[in-house]
Amino acid sequence: MLDMGTESTNVDIQALAAAVAGLIEPRVPLRIDLWGPDEVAAYLKVGRRQVAERYAALPGFPAPIRIPSAQAKTATAQTGKPRGLLRWKAVEIIAWAEAHRDKRHG
């Protein structure tokens, strides 16, 4: 077995860990995170289209937050329909899904 030296190995591991840590983007805490249609779809294990057509229209599904933009403002003025980037509070989507858990009868 090749002896690489404990001190040398520990330094290499620490350097590697520091390099990896520098590449990882900080996560937004779940309690304040906003999810777009893609993240909602990924969590529910469905397609983005299903989120828009099946789930978002259900009574009780969390209401979206519309993030305004100049383009959305113009589209709203032209069509009269509210536009903007749709986002949902992650904790509300999770709570909604958990509320539909099958209840087992003992």
Sheet holding 34-35, edge to edge: 34-35, 85-89, 65-67
| Mean pLDDT over each residue of the chain, to the nearest integer | 84
Whole-number Å distance between alpha carbons of 62 and 73: 23
Which pLDDT value is given to residue 18?
A: 85
Domain locations along the chain: 29-99
Which pLDDT value is given to residue 5?
A: 54
Neighbouring CB atoms inside 10 A of 90's CB total 20
Q: What is the pTM of this model?
A: 0.66
Which has the higher per-residue pLDDT, 33 or 2?
33
Alpha-carbon distance values, 84 to 36, 53, 54, 68, 89 (Å) = 12, 17, 20, 5, 16
Which pLDDT value is given to residue 1?
A: 47
Residue 105: helix, strand or coil by DSSP?
A: coil
Residue 50 amino acid letter: Q
Which pLDDT value is given to residue 11?
A: 73
Among the residue ranges 38-52, 60-74, 86-100, the one predicted with the least confidence is 60-74
